[in-house]
Structure 1
Amino acid sequence: MKILQTSAVKTHIISGFLGAGKTTLLQHLLSQKPENERWAVLMNEFGQIGVDQQLLPQTDGYEVKELLGGCLCCASQLPMQIALSRLLSDSKPDRLFIEPTGLGHPAQLLDQLSEPHWKQNIQMQAPVTVIDGSRLHDQLWTEQNLYQDQLKAAQIVVVSHQDLMNDLDKQALSELKREYQVYVQSWILAEQGLVKLEQIDFNYQRVERKLQPLLSIQRQIGVDQVLPEIKQLPYHYVETTQGYTVAGWKFSKHWQFNFYDVLDVLCEQKDWLRIKAIFNTDQGWMTFNFNPEQFNYKSGEENIDNRVEIISAQSIQTEAFENSLLKCRIIQK
């Protein structure tokens, strides 16, 4: 699937939860197209009937394509590869915008588009996530895993409907900025999608994440052996961004942990900036959200897995932490 492209096309991913205002933002960005350039848009709708495409310019200088059904982030890569290749080869755009469905996982799309196959054809710009500022007070909304995954993938966050934000929303935004300071480089308060192109026109700084076997398993692998490719739980990962280190673990949802033992292990950690976790415990599913000022935990909904993540500006004693955590597991007899 060869694409004849003289130079890499600046490519922006505009993600966001359902109803956040992605298309409104995109409309305003497209209105800033120079007359001598050709821009293209690849949109993804989860259903089989496209609507958003009809809301965008259909005039000379724009090429808008939709990929219907499923999610281009996490479904088979082939439909996305074909659609994107055709759009680049047929339209030869100077700039490209990709709008995944509101149910999409932009981190997976970023991984796909960062593969060597695309490097000569596209130049990834800082990924943008749009959030509805007027709903930040709603914890049922903001605590969803998909919502949080989209924020973690963003380097720029556009806060829409800021004119409708109440005091609780503003307080929640301050907390959100603190929580995602490791990932997000810029926060933009926008009314009606009024964002200038130069506010988002920065190169993507990729976060390297290494998925590896649990540290206890790695010790059993010879130094001359290659670590196995991780395709299923459990696993351990480390990523570094903007001078911070993030260490995380994911375990099967069927693993159960002693609640008070897990709480003790988390409270004993030192020199961290943030600890977030979801565990299946003998007290039910529990969520933990620690920052240096507050140690919050409460019962939560069943999750797809057990997970914990520690953010620190210092080195993290990962092996000691993992050993302590595994001792909290309840082994069924």
Structure 2
Amino acid sequence: MEAADNISAVPTTLITGFFGVGKTTTLRSLIERKPEDEKWAILVNEFGEVGIDGALLENLSGDGVQIREIVGGCLCCTANVPMRVAVTEILRRTRPDRLLIEPTGIGHPAGLIDELRSDGLADAIDLRAVICLVDPRLIHDARIQEAAVFRDQVAIADVLIAGKADLAGEDDIARFREWARNLFPPKSHIAVAAEGNIDYRFLDLAPGRYAVGAEGGHRHNPAETEVQRRSSGSHQFERIQSAGDEYHGCGWVFGPDFIFDQGAIADCLGPPGLPGIEAAGAALRAKGVFRVGGDWILLNRTGAECTVGDIAYRRDSRIEVIVPNGVTADWDRLERALLECLKS
């Protein structure tokens, strides 16, 4: 990155979430716990022209903390030049040990992550696990659930935290945990925090590369799990087989360098049958996220019903198929069919 000479791999964390979930309060809590010998850079984005969050953090600036506020726009827009300039400038001026970014509450973080991973910025930063805060009292509010930005923020997160837990009841927290555990793709960590006091260690988590069915997945207590490292040409991927609770299944996790053809993958996993599965419609579930060029899609199949839509998730491509015990599944054949869907 020419504008940030000799700066590389600065640990960088995005803290996302809808309006009013406590992102700025969380930043304050983290800054107050900053090691004295570290320099931090904080980039705060507000959609409106009147910056409020920066003012709330202003008294924490200095003493190893540099805060830069961008107002009147959205950091999350694809190819956002002001964002690139802001990141470059704050890295060059501060030369920080850590960079924290708080996008606006109505920002779609996928575009921001794509930009941070692009040429010129990717070498300057080390993008860590994405943290998303939600209000556990509102997650089942239809107006929130219908908001595309809320769904995108949740989908792209590695760590999902119920903020404002001090204002929520026990039932709210229980419903949050149940909802979070059933999200797909699963989260690497699900947590609860009061007054912005999230676990400091979340800042050092790598983006989740965990097996299908990890914490937050839909299955409970699988009897057996087998993880295999496999390859396609020079590219590595994981295959995870599991069995238990009267079902067995197989999942695959492909790095972001695997790019699939959307039409081919929809034909492969859609009705009437799945390659290698004993009978058409036998799959209890086939659910996956795939990178298809610059976009990412979510494919969700239950029985003979299959839907395909956009998703903000950006970490990897992954697919899981689960069938009842007694149904024969040739996972090798299904794997070959998946690899045939890669773009050449």
TM-score by length of 1: 0.65
Residue in 1 aligned with 2:6? Answer: 5
SS in 2 for 1:157: strand
Aligned position for 2:234: none
User: Which amino acid in structure 1 is aligned with residue 105 of structure 2?
Assistant: G
Instruction: Give the whole-Å Cα distance in 1 for the aligned partners of 2:173 and 2:185.
Output: 20
Q: Distance in 1 between matches of 2:310 and 2:56?
A: 41
Q: How does 1:1-333 map to 2 (within 5 A)?
A: 1-56=2-57, 57-74=60-77, 76-166=79-169, 169-180=172-183, 182-205=185-208, 208=256, 210=259, 212-215=261-264, 268=281, 270-272=283-285, 307=309, 312-313=320-321
Which residue does 1:256 correspond to in 2?
A: none
CA contact (8 A) 1:5 1:92 kept: no
User: What is the RMSD of the two structures over their aligned residues, measured on CA atoms?
Assistant: 3.8
| Deviation string, structure 1 residues 103-161 (Cα, Å, up to 9, x no partner) | 11112211111124223211111010010112123232134221111111100112112
Q: How many residues align?
A: 255
Structure 1: state its 5+ residue gaps. 217-235, 239-246, 249-266, 277-288, 293-304, 321-333
Q: Which amino acid aligns with 2:165?
A: Q
Question: TM-score, with normalisation over the residues of structure 2?
Answer: 0.63
Unaligned 5+ segments in structure 2 are 210-254, 271-279, 290-299, 312-317, 323-330, 338-344
User: Conserved in 2, the CA contact under 8 Å of 1:123 and 1:203?
Assistant: no
Letter in 2 for 1:48: E
Distance 1:122 1:65 in 2: 17
- Cα distance per residue 1:251-298 (max 9 Å; x no partner): xxxxxxxxxxxxxxxx9472416699xxxxxxxxxxxx9989xxxxxx
Q: For the Cα contact (< 8 Å) 1:136–1:169, is it kept in 2?
A: no
The aligned residue for residue 284 of structure 1 is: none
Identity %: 32
Deviation at 1:213, TM superposition (A): 4.6
Q: 1:60: Cα distance to partner?
A: 2.4
- Residue identity matched to 1:270: A
CA shift digits 1:203-249 (9 cap, x unpaired) = 22476274635239xxxxxxxxxxxxxxxxxxx699xxxxxxxx89x
